[in-house]
A and B are shown apart, each in its own frame.
Chain A
Amino acid sequence: DGGITQSPKYLFRKEGQNVTLSCEQNLNHDAMYWYRQDPGQGLRLIYYSQIVNDFQKGDIAEGYSVSREKKESFPLTVTSAQKNPTAFYLCASSWTGGDTEAFFGQGTRLTVV
């Protein structure tokens, strides 16, 4: 059953803590992405990776970190430096190239308590 899986679906974080969101894909895609979605706004790119062991900052990378040690996995860590982390986080993957479709996971809703 091919797809992209995010976990957990819901996550609660205390202020000052780091949390890691998981993203795994078995579509054999080279590119993976992390987006943040806030109510009434478009998706904003946090980080993306086109190849293993390489990743690039997106538009709002401050307070976040990623790793790409395996092709299938692209975890996102929300650090205590991110001042407003409550949001819906979406992971996506795609083939590299200009006209490729991004396939999304089900999302993780992070809430700071």
Chain B
Amino acid sequence: KNQVEQSPQSLIILEGKNCTLQCNYTVSPFSNLRWYKQDTGRGPVSLTIMTFSENTKSNGRYTATLDADTKQSSLHITASQLSDSASYICVVRGSNYQLIWGAGTKLIIKP
């Protein structure tokens, strides 16, 4: 069964600290993996996309990694800011229009 599992379910860290969010998937065939940021009560916004051949990609303070062999991805946030408080969702695209969404990690940054 195609699944995307994210961990931890929620995370609280102090402002300025780093954190890493995990995404494991069993989607096959694999096309690409995206990380989205969703502020409370808003629609998700794409942070980065990872294709099969990419291992690491950065977008400012966000760095995503992909290990296609172990079917794992991570999103590392450096020097967290209060505005990073949000849910981070991993979504894997399989064949055609099939998108498998993870449940998300709720990140809370405390001052």
* Docked pose: A102 CA to B9 CA in angstroms: 24
A106 contact set on B, CB distance < 8 A: 41-43
A98 touching B31 by the CB < 8 A rule? yes
Interface size class of A (residues with CB under 8 A): 20 to 34
A78-113 with Cβ < 8 A to chain B? 88, 90, 92, 98-99, 101-102, 104-107, 109
The smallest beta-carbon distance between A58 and chain B, in angstroms, is 9
A48 touching B97 by the CB < 8 A rule? yes
* Residue with the highest number of chain B CB atoms closer than 10 Å, among A43, A102, A104, A105: A43
B103 contact set on A, CB distance < 8 A: 40-42
With contacts A42-B89, A43-B101 known, is A101 near B41, CB below 8 A?
no
With contacts A98-B31, A101-B49 known, is A42 near B102, CB below 8 A?
yes
A101 touching B101 by the CB < 8 A rule? no
Q: Which residues of A contact B (CB under 8 A)?
A: 4, 31, 40-45, 48, 50, 88, 90, 92, 98-99, 101-102, 104-107, 109
